[in-house]
């Protein structure tokens, strides 16, 4: 995949190019991006609060949020970062500027709440329960002991919520903290002290549970970052081995990997043979044999045997590190559904608040109904009005889908492409390097006269011993093992025709049909073999001397073994496949017949491929394109989703493709579509569940059948439900999870 792809397709500015917090001060003409970690920012409530505070500040150009990782990127033209940090501190956000160092594997979040915080929350719950018991026992709901217990509960469990509510009121931000604060104040105003205490306690407890659920999501996403070991055994000057931090190992160093260990850094095998489990990077199900000269990747597992590996990339530049960076950036790219939900929530919350206000005011004033009863109904509506479940459902679901794809060796550059993948109805496939391996190999040998096939290959390999032509390399690779090549004298290249040389004192030629005709050596047997090979779409060469035609060799690009299965799986999903190739029509039809592709467009220039993509979009709608070469760049850029083949270890492919298949397995294409469709269904389920729960409780509130604490349970319960449903995608492909349903999509 070439840089042209990245130049032709406009990319979203994710805002993740960052500067160290110690960088020189920016000038007004020099926009800078500063990255902040905000530990108490974990849901859309905090995001909206921060947006309302920062977006109106002079010099602030753009804000990008990553709620899963609790990161905020601020693009600004300020002279100093201090103004941003002061503004964040004013709304209670604990922001720490971080630099653009290589990604590190964050420690797992195991204790988001301290023991003291849990004890204080327990005291709040005990006091709230005691207040309810006293009220049920006959004490008045506004009696001194009930009020005292309620106050203890509110102070112990509700001060953080009330403080956030006050900040939201000052910044004119409608969020759950403000709505909950209004509900508590309203309940106290109408004398419902036990109810106010129970609401604030239940909300605080639900916040803790929700935070723990998001922590689980965060840890699941970060699990990918922790697969590479932190240390490596490095060869030192005296020939011994020393354990060194992986991020301190220089390029060119020699590291040792024992059986069962993970490889710490990208490199090339210098000594030893083993099988390496590359599933964490490429998603391959079986270990791959590695020997001297083979590339290995950080985070993969050495199954058996000792390997010595020459490091080719620093820790921060490894294939795993690049995958991590892409995953971090994609979390800042909102999917279309997420953008729609965010816009919807901006109108939804004020509308519901206005409706609650009407419920509280209109019936008592217009119809003389009891004010306290209708105020209570309005308070229940305020509690259930928060759009948290609706808004948090999309990023959790999309990030889970992206992580599940990365675990399978499918690197997706953002939620927008995951959503687009669910709509694909056709995929255009390049031939050379995509459906085929792009490496010519000997497909068939025809020996004439007394020679055997092995003899023909030996003579052909001898003539090609000094040639670097791809066909020559194919014949050299096919030469019989264990037999010495024949000595060739008077070797000469015959451009456009073949080669010649003397073997055993006799002139031999190896070339195409044109050379055969020029030398007047054509025979009926040779012509028949050449015609048969060409009909099969193969490249044919003939070996002959001054007396006889000795044999014919057919060379062809090798079909990828998984290609027929991939095409069949795509067809089962209702996705049409079309071959787009610059090769001749006969060869293209032969490959299409082997793979099961019905539509073939051959002898295409790069601009012709672009035109074919336009035609397919008109016929099918959303179209994908899979390719591996520079000539595929225009078509890849024009398709809804561009797939890069064999991206493992390739900087350019990882950085420019919409979806990078980390190995060369075309079966990842239907797997990506199944995952994309499963993600789309989960998104729809989450949105529907959140809206239905709220609609039901609105109706119950108006009917007087819902209480404040029930509304709290419903609101946070909906949030927990959508988070848990989104996290199911992390198990995509496990028994009983997603793919079975996805096949029907």
CA 618 to chain centre: 28
List the Cα angle 610/613/614 in 5-degree steps: 90
Q: Backbone phi, then psi, for 365, in 5-degree steps?
A: -80, -40
The answer for residues whose C-beta is within 8 angstroms of residue 211's C-beta and 6 or more apart is: 42, 112, 113
430 in catalytic set: yes
List the Cα angle 534/535/538 in 5-degree steps: 40
CA 355 to chain centre: 40
State both tokens at 724: 């848990």
283: left (phi over 0), alpha (psi -120 to 50) or beta: left
Query: Which residue among 64, 277, 342, 430 is the active-site one?
Result: 430
Q: Backbone phi, then psi, for 495, in 5-degree steps?
A: -50, 130
Place of tokens 């001297």: 292
- State how far the alpha carbon of 464 is from the alpha carbons of 244, 499, 622, in Å: 47, 8, 47
Residue ranges with strand state E in 209-336: 231-235, 241-245, 254-257, 267-271, 274-277, 288-290, 295-296, 301-302, 307-311
Q: How many helices (H) and strands (E) does the chain have?
A: 25, 26
State both tokens at 93: 């956000």
The answer for residues whose C-beta is within 8 angstroms of residue 48's C-beta and 6 or more apart is: 173, 175
State both tokens at 348: 């939804």
State the Cα–Cα distance between residues 512 and 530, nearest whole angstrom.
Answer: 9
State both tokens at 734: 């496990």
State the Cα–Cα distance between residues 154 and 403, nearest whole angstrom.
Answer: 40
Task: For residue 137, count other CB atoms closer than 10 A to its CB.
Answer: 8
Closest C-alpha among 228, 240, 197 to residue 317: 228
Closest C-alpha among 110, 601, 173 to residue 346: 173
List the Cα angle 305/309/311 in 5-degree steps: 155
Element containing residue 625 per DSSP (H, E): strand 623-627
State both tokens at 325: 């960076």
Task: For residue 498, count other CB atoms closer than 10 A to its CB.
Answer: 24
Q: Backbone phi, then psi, for 270, in 5-degree steps?
A: -95, -35
Place of tokens 């106010």: 196
Q: Backbone phi, then psi, for 295, in 5-degree steps?
A: -85, 145
State the Cα–Cα distance between residues 718 and 603, nearest whole angstrom.
Answer: 56
Task: For residue 485, count other CB atoms closer than 10 A to its CB.
Answer: 15
How far does the chain reach from its first CA to its final CA, in angstroms? 30
List the Cα angle 174/176/180 in 5-degree steps: 110
As annotated, the active-site residues are 430
């Amino acid at each position: 995949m070439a840089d042209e792809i990245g130049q032709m397709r406009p990319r979203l500015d994710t805002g993740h190019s960052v500067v160290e917090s110690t960088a020189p001060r920016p000038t007004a003409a020099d926009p800078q991006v500063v990255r902040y970690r905000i530990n108490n920012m974990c849901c859309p409530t905090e995001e909206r609060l921060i947006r309302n505070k920062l977006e109106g500040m002079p010099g602030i150009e753009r804000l990008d949020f990553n709620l899963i990782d609790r990161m905020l990127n601020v693009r600004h033209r300020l002279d100093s970062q201090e103004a941003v940090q002061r503004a964040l501190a004013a709304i209670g956000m604990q922001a720490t500027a971080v630099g653009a160092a290589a990604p590190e594997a964050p420690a797992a979040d195991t204790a988001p709440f301290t023991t003291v915080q849990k004890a204080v929350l327990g005291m709040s719950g005990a006091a709230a329960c005691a207040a309810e018991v006293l009220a049920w026992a006959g004490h008045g709901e506004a009696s001194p002991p009930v009020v005292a217990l309620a106050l203890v509960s509110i102070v112990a469990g509700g001060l953080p919520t009330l403080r956030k509510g006050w900040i939201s009121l000052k910044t004119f931000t409608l969020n759950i903290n403000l709505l909950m604060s209004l509900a508590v104040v309203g309940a106290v105003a109408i004398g419902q002290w036990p109810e106010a205490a129970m609401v604030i306690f239940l909300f605080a407890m639900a916040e803790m549970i929700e935070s723990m659920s998001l922590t689980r999501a965060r840890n699941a996403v970060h699990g990918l970052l922790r697969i590479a070991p932190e240390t490596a055994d490095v060869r030192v000057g005296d020939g011994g081995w020393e354990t060194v931090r992986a991020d301190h190992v220089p390029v060119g160093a020699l590291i040792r990997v024992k059986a069962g260990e993970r490889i710490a850094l990208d490199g090339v095998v210098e000594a030893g043979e083993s099988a390496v489990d590359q599933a964490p990077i490429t998603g391959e199900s079986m270990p791959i044999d590695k020997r001297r000269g083979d590339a290995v990747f950080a985070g993969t597992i050495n199954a058996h045997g000792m390997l010595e590996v020459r490091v080719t990339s620093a820790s921060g530049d490894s294939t795993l590190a690049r995958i991590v960076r892409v995953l971090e950036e994609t979390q800042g790219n909102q999917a279309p559904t997420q953008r729609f939900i965010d816009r919807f929530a901006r109108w939804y919350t004020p509308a519901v608040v206005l409706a609650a206000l009407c419920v509280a005011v209109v019936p008592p004033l217009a119809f003389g109904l009891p004010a306290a009863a209708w105020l209570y109904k309005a308070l229940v509506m305020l509690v259930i009005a928060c759009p948290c479940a609706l808004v948090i459902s999309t990023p959790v679901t999309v990030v889970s889908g992206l992580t599940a794809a990365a675990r399978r060796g499918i690197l997706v550059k953002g939620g927008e492409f995951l959503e687009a993948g669910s709509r694909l109805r056709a995929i255009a496939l390049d031939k050379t390097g995509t459906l085929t391996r792009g490496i010519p190999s000997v497909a068939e040998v025809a020996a004439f006269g007394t020679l055997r096939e092995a003899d023909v290959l030996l003579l052909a390999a001898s003539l090609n011993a000094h040639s670097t032509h791809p066909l020559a390399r194919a014949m050299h690779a096919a030469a019989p093992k264990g037999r010495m090549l024949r000595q060739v004298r008077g070797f000469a290249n015959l451009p456009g025709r073949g080669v010649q040389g003397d073997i055993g004192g006799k002139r031999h030629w190896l070339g195409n049909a044109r050379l055969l005709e020029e030398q007047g050596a054509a025979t009926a047997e040779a012509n028949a073999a050449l015609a048969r090979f060409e009909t099969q779409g193969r490249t044919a060469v003939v070996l002959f001397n001054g007396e006889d035609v000795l044999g014919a060799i057919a060379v062809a690009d090798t079909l990828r073994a998984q290609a027929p299965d991939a095409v069949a799986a795509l067809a089962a999903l209702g996705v049409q496949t079309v071959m787009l190739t610059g090769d001749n029509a006969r060869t293209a039809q032969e490959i299409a017949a082997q793979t099961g592709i019905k539509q073939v467009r051959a002898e295409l220039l790069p601009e012709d491929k672009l035109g074919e993509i336009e035609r397919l979009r008109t016929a099918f709608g959303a179209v994908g394109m899979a390719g591996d070469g520079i000539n595929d760049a225009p078509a890849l850029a024009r398709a809804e989703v561009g797939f890069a083949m064999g991206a493992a270890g390739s900087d350019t492919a990882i950085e420019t493709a919409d979806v990078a298949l980390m190995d060369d397995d075309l079966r990842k294409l239907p797997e990506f579509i199944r995952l994309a469709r499963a993600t789309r269904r989960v998104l729809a389920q989450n949105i529907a569940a959140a809206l239905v729960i709220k609609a039901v409780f609105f109706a119950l509130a108006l009917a007087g059948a819902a209480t404040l604490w029930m509304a709290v349970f419903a609101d946070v319960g909906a949030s927990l439900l959508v988070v848990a449903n989104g996290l199911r995608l992390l198990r995509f492909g496990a028994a009983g999870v997603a793919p079975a349903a996805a096949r029907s999509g």
